[in-house]
Chains A and B, each alone.
Chain A
Amino acid sequence: MNTIKKYILSLGLIIPAILFGQVDRSIRPAAAKAPAINIKDSEVFTTSNGITVILSENHKLPKISFNMVMSATPMTEGSKAGLSSITGELILSGTTNRSKDQLDKEKDYIGADLSADKESLFLSCLTKHIDKGLDLMSDVLIRANFPQSEFDRIKNQTVSSLLSTKSSPESMANNAESKANFPKGHPYSEVMTEESLNNISLDDVKKYYKLIFTPTGSYLVIVGDITKAQATELVEKYFSKWSGDNIYNQEMTPSSKQSGNRVIFIKKPGAVQSVINVTFPLNVKPGDKDQLPLTVLNDIFGGGGFGTRLMQNLREDKAYTYGCYSGLNINAYGSSLSASGNFRNDVTDSAITQILFELDKITNGYVSDDELNLTKMVMAGNFARSLERPQTIARFALNIIKYKLPKDYYQTYLKRLESISKEDVLLMAQKYFTAKNCNIIVVGNEEVLSKLKQFDADGIVEVWDAFGEPIKETKKADITKEQLIEKYILATTQTTSIKNASKKIKKLKAFEEVAEVTIPQAPFPISSTRIWQTPNTEAAKIEAQGMVLQKSYFDGSFGATTSMQTGKKELTKEEIAAKGKSTGLLPELNYATSGMKYELIGIENLEGKEVYVLKLHDGNSESFDYFDTKTFMKVKSVKMEKTDDKMMEITSTYTEFKEVNGILFPFKMAIIQDEMSFNIKVISFTFKDKVDLKTFK
């Protein structure tokens, strides 16, 4: 047991002389002697099957709670986003011993709270019912059986709840925040949609549960009216038979820093207020030494009470809102800051201006002594008051173990807090805060949209749906698909008729392209060589430091791909057939005869440019080509390939078109495939009479 004295500094006011019956109300009462603060140590012990038990004894009320928390990392769910939360909802759907009805009945009978989520199972009940409560809890933990009927019901119900997301501006803003702050594939970026929900099977749920819910590495937090001896016996009795796999663990892609402010708008018809959320990722983890000073900074900024910069400016001074707060979310696998509030429609833009102003201001100067002292006092007070709850003590113990904090982390909390200076705070602001690289999310009435453009670095507001997916507005095209192809051919070949274009192309028999490839993850230079010979012989290879990483070829009738990891793989019949449909230096010249199916979808907005969208179907895969409506050049191409049960999407963007032998070729390309991105810069592009496939086979 440790004692911390004087956690609150006295105000140092003069103690008034009290005369009987006479009160000078202008004299503010001074503080009495500061009470001592005790943080009772929790008991920690482990079980033979790997559970770390944390016990915080407290006999004030005849109640106990047991919280079983898993230590797996979150999982990327991809096309099955929502799997973990659906599993969490289904955990209490019955066991091999008890139907759901039976379980519900027995749980309610003792007035207990038994709840579950994707990574924990919680029980709270009166002390006298603890045996029954633990009987139910352990039954669920060990024998949850996920019946089909409940799975179907929860899925149906979730479809309905997903619908109601569209009427909750906060949910919409949260979805957008997840997607904006974390990279694709990061578990924190994933948002369940009706489509991803449909992809989830009962089998997935069972697998997920088995993978994540395992005693190895789990924590059991016990709080309340129980002694250590009793706890030890109960844990042994109810949880020693639980067994499972090793801890699930996956690597996380960190958030990358964006450049410039990005405005994301989500439509909420009929809204009278806009939900504004200015947010950005932070590179900080629980227990980092920056966490405490960063928390002080955030509390001064908008995380504290009424006195924060955001609250004073936007509520007290301007009365734009009922409340404007900033939240610091420090999580093990990704952190973020968000400043948010609800603002009436006509002040939406002014509110953003003020939030950005405050973000900028706090990185540009010291906070005042008053602000710093007040915030430190508030935090010390919050800390002291939080100790009333036995759950707090247990949480401290859990955090120390989970995040490998020093054993006296909370004992020294107030001392560390006290020592934070305004220099420390400014340092935190400059290290972590930004008014220039934010995601500015606005959920609101369409009437506010036109005022948002000014905040976006490139002037283009992205419009997303309720689930964080970009909304594509497609307009009808003003030309036919044949006209588009013709215009593209003429533009690329810089001719005025198809006849001349064909003539020009026919002269060109073969080429070789050498390019430099950069991959953000790879520190060494990579080069690529691509060759082509009429009508459809082609090959490519990628080399790094003298080694060939990957090569592929197609000689018109056969081909193969060889990679360092997977070895040689011959092209399938379907792949060969597809290649046959895309022949020639300019395959578009042959669309009429090659059997390529294509349709013109319409005109869309692509990063501020209007583009024609052409959908292609070559029998094996689908792809989309995007043509600039002014220059008719192909600026982007998205290819969707189905491999086994997975969809792979390859996006290529083309820029810096240069003329070679009278034809325009892109000299810069960016290719994004799954989580990988490549930037390609063409070094040389030469036309030849013929090429040699030998080194590509």
Chain B
Amino acid sequence: MKKIILLGCISFSSLVSFSQKKIEYVEYDLPNGIHVILHEEHSTPIVAVSVLYHVGSKNEKAERTGFAHFFEHLLFEGTTNIGRGEYSELVEKNGGALNANTSQDRTYYYEILPSNQLELGIWLESERMLHAKVENTGIETQRSVVKEEKRQRVDNQPYASFIPEIFKRMFTVHPYNWVPIGSMEHLDAAQEADYVNFYRTFYVPANSTISIAGDINIAETKKFVEKYFASIPKGEAINLYRDVENLSDEAFLAKYKVAKSKFDLTNFNHLKDLEAKKVVDYYASKASVIPRPTKTNETPKSVLKDTIYDNIQLPALFIAYRFPEQTNPDFPALEMLNEVLSGGSSSRMNKTIVEKKQMANYAFSFAYGLEDAGMGIFAAIASKDISLDSIQVEIDKQIELIKKELISQEEFEKVRNQFENQFVSSNASIAGVCENLADNYVYFGNANRVNNQLDSYMKVTREDILRVANKYLTQNARIILEYLPKPEIETETVPKN
């Protein structure tokens, strides 16, 4: 007994002294415009190699949606030096893993490899950037695969269409009108040339950021990056290189007025043939032009309410407000506001709508931050026999309350603690650090945000939260979607077997 009491008095202040190590990194630009970020960390003998292409669904043409995501699939099909299906095999048989993901704003590819395969990872990614195979065989296969992905992730999943349905209504001018999965009809209608053009436009050095993290030696890694990425031609010269590889002699001559044979692809940036060198230099000096949409200020003009019938059993309500872009100084306050309303089981929406009133099975909200605009979405899946109107009344009460009164000091501290915890957890894996470095550089122009991101939240005051609530939670201008079960299809008896 005595022992226990004694122990109770011991303070564990010593535990507090551990704090998170700063993430050290080096960053630089290659002459061809690729931005490089390297982070050395030896706790596990693995390395993450990634390339972020600053192209997402918002860079697509309105009549060719789904391209950015489609490329995420297509670019595993192989390159000039890597056979069809071999790309992932090369990674896997060397003990690695690979994947990619696409958002409205960017496409991100990565490999996680044993650290002795660093060079392989760099070579693989450089191959993908320089000369991936964009051909009908691969296009056909991946087209079907993407269609199945859409059926599985969107069409066949209850409520899953709410994101596209909201974006469609929120943005009528900006290409956030559609989401990365895009339109299957557009993919069908597209020709091989459309795909080739997309690759030539967006998969260029000036549009990419390399991030490598893990058990590496910085000097050695720089050498590999130099070898495989610095050798990729600058500006429009990359497409000249691709034409040397893909065009017939005649077509090449007609286009460039120089014989293809004069170009040595193994030493493209230092050609001996002066005529060819002149052509390369000319195209290298022509900067890549990346089409980017203009930001719009569009917001809903009034309350736009719609009903969607889905294959669901429980009705659901989605309310969306226009938020600013993620880099806007107001955004951290909006994220914290969101946390007050739905972060954790003590959050306001959970306590009232789910627990006290038992009107919804789940109530959640999130601050959707993108490069050009943002959105705040509040949602609830109704409990059995509860009307969506009554749920809306409750959500609105919570919104009115947070617009009217400062959040309590206790709630404020709670939210700050929650953000601190999230921040620490976000850098738990090498792959996570690698991706955070790239994202922060591209979106915020500051890779170091991996270390000081928390500051922007710790600066937010209770008054800021009240202010942004009033600024953005506009009750007279928002989108409300009601999800209702499809009227029961009369099911006839099962045909006799």
Interface residues of A (CB under 8 A from B): 7-8, 10-11, 18, 21-26, 28-37, 59-63, 92, 100-101, 104-105, 107-112, 125-131, 153, 156-157, 159-161, 163-164, 166-169, 225-226, 230, 233-234, 236-237, 240-241, 267-273, 304-307, 312, 315-316, 319-323, 342-344, 373-374, 377-378, 380-382, 384-385, 387-389, 446, 449-450, 453, 459-461, 463, 471, 473, 475, 605, 608
In the assembled complex, 11 residue pairs joining A and B whose CB atoms fall closer than 8 Å, in A order, are A8-B117, A25-B130, A60-B21, A60-B428, A61-B428, A107-B344, A111-B419, A160-B314, A269-B489, A374-B92, A382-B95
Indicate whether B114 reaches chain A with its CB closer than 8 angstroms.
yes
Given the contacts A167-B311, A342-B148, A373-B93, A23 and B266 also touching, CB distance less than 8 Å: yes
- The answer to whether B311 and A271 have CB atoms under 8 Å apart is yes
Could you tell me the distance between the alpha carbons of A7 and B430 in the complex, rounded to whole angstroms? 20
- The answer to whether A342 and B314 have CB atoms under 8 Å apart is no
Could you tell me the distance between the alpha carbons of A140 and B382 in the complex, rounded to whole angstroms? 29
- The answer to whether B145 and A61 have CB atoms under 8 Å apart is no
- The answer to whether A234 and B417 have CB atoms under 8 Å apart is no
Specify which of B114, B228, B355, B425 is in contact with A8 (CB 8 Å cutoff).
B114
Given the contacts A28-B123, A108-B343, A272 and B93 also touching, CB distance less than 8 Å: no
Contact residues, B461-497 vs A (CB, 8 A): 486, 488-489, 491, 493-497
Contact residues, B194-249 vs A (CB, 8 A): 215, 224, 227-228, 231
Q: B95, B265, B361 — which one has the most chain A CB atoms within 10 A of its CB?
A: B95
Specify which of A153, A237, A388 is in contact with B46 (CB 8 Å cutoff).
A388
- The answer to whether B489 and A62 have CB atoms under 8 Å apart is no
Contact residues, B104-148 vs A (CB, 8 A): 112-120, 122-123, 126-127, 130, 140-141, 144-148
- The answer to whether A381 and B148 have CB atoms under 8 Å apart is no
- The answer to whether A31 and B116 have CB atoms under 8 Å apart is yes
Q: How far is the CB of A657 from chain B (nearest CB, A)?
A: 26
- The answer to whether A322 and B94 have CB atoms under 8 Å apart is no
- The answer to whether B489 and A225 have CB atoms under 8 Å apart is no
Given the contacts A111-B421, A271-B311, A35 and B346 also touching, CB distance less than 8 Å: no
Chain A residues closer than 8 Å to B419, beta-carbon distance: 111
Q: Apart from A108-B345, A319-B145, what 13 extra A-B contacts exist at CB < 8 Å? A: A28-B120, A32-B115, A35-B215, A230-B14, A236-B3, A237-B4, A305-B88, A307-B85, A342-B151, A342-B152, A378-B93, A382-B97, A450-B495
- The answer to whether B267 and A21 have CB atoms under 8 Å apart is yes
**Interface 0/1 of B390-425, CB less than 8 Å to A:** 000000000000000000001001100111111011
Instruction: Name B116's closest neighbour in chain A (CB-CB).
Output: A32
Instruction: Name B485's closest neighbour in chain A (CB-CB).
Output: A167
Instruction: Name B228's closest neighbour in chain A (CB-CB).
Output: A23
List the one stretch of B5-13, B51-59, B277-285 in contact with chain A: B5-13
Q: Which 10 residue pairs across A and B have the least CB separation, nearest first? A: A381-B95, A319-B144, A35-B45, A111-B421, A29-B119, A104-B346, A111-B417, A108-B344, A322-B148, A32-B116
Q: How far is the CB of B206 from chain A (nearest CB, A)?
A: 20
- The answer to whether A153 and B92 have CB atoms under 8 Å apart is no
- The answer to whether A304 and B345 have CB atoms under 8 Å apart is no
Indicate whether B307 reaches chain A with its CB closer than 8 angstroms.
no
Indicate whether B459 reaches chain A with its CB closer than 8 angstroms.
no
Chain B residues closer than 8 Å to A8, beta-carbon distance: 94-95, 114, 116-117
Q: How far is the CB of A133 from chain B (nearest CB, A)?
A: 11
Could you tell me the distance between the alpha carbons of A518 and B92 in the complex, rounded to whole angstroms? 54
Instruction: Name B117's closest neighbour in chain A (CB-CB).
Output: A31
Could you tell me the distance between the alpha carbons of A382 and B215 in the complex, rounded to whole angstroms? 16
Chain B residues closer than 8 Å to A128, beta-carbon distance: 15-16
- The answer to whether A384 and B45 have CB atoms under 8 Å apart is yes
Q: B20, B45, B227, B381 — which one has the most chain A CB atoms within 10 A of its CB?
A: B45
Could you tell me the distance between the alpha carbons of A125 and B384 in the complex, rounded to whole angstroms? 35
Could you tell me the distance between the alpha carbons of A234 and B7 in the complex, rounded to whole angstroms? 9
**Interface 0/1 of B280-317, CB less than 8 Å to A:** 00000000000000000000000000000001111000
- The answer to whether A110 and B494 have CB atoms under 8 Å apart is no
Could you tell me the distance between the alpha carbons of A128 and B424 in the complex, rounded to whole angstroms? 12
Indicate whether B80 reaches chain A with its CB closer than 8 angstroms.
yes
Instruction: Name B488's closest neighbour in chain A (CB-CB).
Output: A269
Q: How far is the CB of B339 from chain A (nearest CB, A)?
A: 9
Instruction: Name B152's closest neighbour in chain A (CB-CB).
Output: A342
Indicate whether B27 reaches chain A with its CB closer than 8 angstroms.
no
Chain B residues closer than 8 Å to A157, beta-carbon distance: 354, 358, 361, 383
- The answer to whether B152 and A126 have CB atoms under 8 Å apart is no
- The answer to whether A168 and B158 have CB atoms under 8 Å apart is yes
Chain B residues closer than 8 Å to A321, beta-carbon distance: 145, 148, 152
Could you tell me the distance between the alpha carbons of A29 and B224 in the complex, rounded to whole angstroms? 10
Contact residues, B1-37 vs A (CB, 8 A): 3-4, 7-8, 10, 12, 14-16, 18-21
- The answer to whether B149 and A322 have CB atoms under 8 Å apart is yes
Specify which of A230, A267, A307, A385 is in contact with B97 (CB 8 Å cutoff).
A385
Q: B90, B344, B489 — which one has the most chain A CB atoms within 10 A of its CB?
A: B344
- The answer to whether A61 and B149 have CB atoms under 8 Å apart is no
Given the contacts A109-B417, A225-B15, A167 and B494 also touching, CB distance less than 8 Å: no
Indicate whether B96 reaches chain A with its CB closer than 8 angstroms.
yes
Q: How far is the CB of A126 from chain B (nearest CB, A)?
A: 6
- The answer to whether B92 and A307 have CB atoms under 8 Å apart is yes
- The answer to whether B81 and A385 have CB atoms under 8 Å apart is no
- The answer to whether A307 and B495 have CB atoms under 8 Å apart is no
Chain A residues closer than 8 Å to B489, beta-carbon distance: 269-270
Specify which of A18, A108, A380, A388 is in contact with B95 (CB 8 Å cutoff).
A380
- The answer to whether A460 and B497 have CB atoms under 8 Å apart is yes
- The answer to whether A163 and B358 have CB atoms under 8 Å apart is no
- The answer to whether A104 and B344 have CB atoms under 8 Å apart is yes
Given the contacts A130-B15, A163-B384, A342-B156, A153 and B95 also touching, CB distance less than 8 Å: no
Indicate whether B103 reaches chain A with its CB closer than 8 angstroms.
no
Q: B93, B119, B381, B414 — which one has the most chain A CB atoms within 10 A of its CB?
A: B93
- The answer to whether B414 and A108 have CB atoms under 8 Å apart is yes
Specify which of A304, A342, A344, A449 is in contact with B494 (CB 8 Å cutoff).
A449
Instruction: Name A23's closest neighbour in chain B (CB-CB).
Output: B231
Could you tell me the distance between the alpha carbons of A465 and B392 in the complex, rounded to whole angstroms? 33
- The answer to whether A110 and B417 have CB atoms under 8 Å apart is yes
- The answer to whether B92 and A389 have CB atoms under 8 Å apart is no
Could you tell me the distance between the alpha carbons of A230 and B16 in the complex, rounded to whole angstroms? 12
Indicate whether B50 reaches chain A with its CB closer than 8 angstroms.
no
Given the contacts A61-B427, A319-B141, A111 and B418 also touching, CB distance less than 8 Å: yes
Instruction: Name B224's closest neighbour in chain A (CB-CB).
Output: A29
Instruction: Name B8's closest neighbour in chain A (CB-CB).
Output: A237
Instruction: Name A345's closest neighbour in chain B (CB-CB).
Output: B151
- The answer to whether A388 and B94 have CB atoms under 8 Å apart is no
- The answer to whether A381 and B12 have CB atoms under 8 Å apart is no
Could you tell me the distance between the alpha carbons of A32 and B97 in the complex, rounded to whole angstroms? 18
Q: B119, B345, B414 — which one has the most chain A CB atoms within 10 A of its CB?
A: B345
Indicate whether B387 reaches chain A with its CB closer than 8 angstroms.
no
Specify which of B12, B427, B429 is in contact with A131 (CB 8 Å cutoff).
B12
Could you tell me the distance between the alpha carbons of A321 and B224 in the complex, rounded to whole angstroms? 38
- The answer to whether B155 and A272 have CB atoms under 8 Å apart is yes
Indicate whether B260 reaches chain A with its CB closer than 8 angstroms.
no
Chain A residues closer than 8 Å to B119, beta-carbon distance: 29-30, 32
- The answer to whether B314 and A164 have CB atoms under 8 Å apart is yes
- The answer to whether B344 and A127 have CB atoms under 8 Å apart is no
Q: How far is the CB of B463 from chain A (nearest CB, A)?
A: 21
Could you tell me the distance between the alpha carbons of A267 and B491 in the complex, rounded to whole angstroms? 10
Chain B residues closer than 8 Å to A31, beta-carbon distance: 94, 114, 116-117, 120
Instruction: Name A157's closest neighbour in chain B (CB-CB).
Output: B361
Specify which of B12, B43, B346 is in contact with A108 (CB 8 Å cutoff).
B346
- The answer to whether B18 and A127 have CB atoms under 8 Å apart is yes
Chain B residues closer than 8 Å to A471, beta-carbon distance: 494
Q: How far is the CB of A269 from chain B (nearest CB, A)?
A: 5
Indicate whether B436 reaches chain A with its CB closer than 8 angstroms.
no
Specify which of A32, A36, A241 is in contact with B118 (CB 8 Å cutoff).
A32
Specify which of B92, B314, B383 is in contact with A377 (CB 8 Å cutoff).
B92
Chain B residues closer than 8 Å to A322, beta-carbon distance: 145-146, 148-149, 151-153
Chain B residues closer than 8 Å to A319, beta-carbon distance: 140-141, 144-145, 148
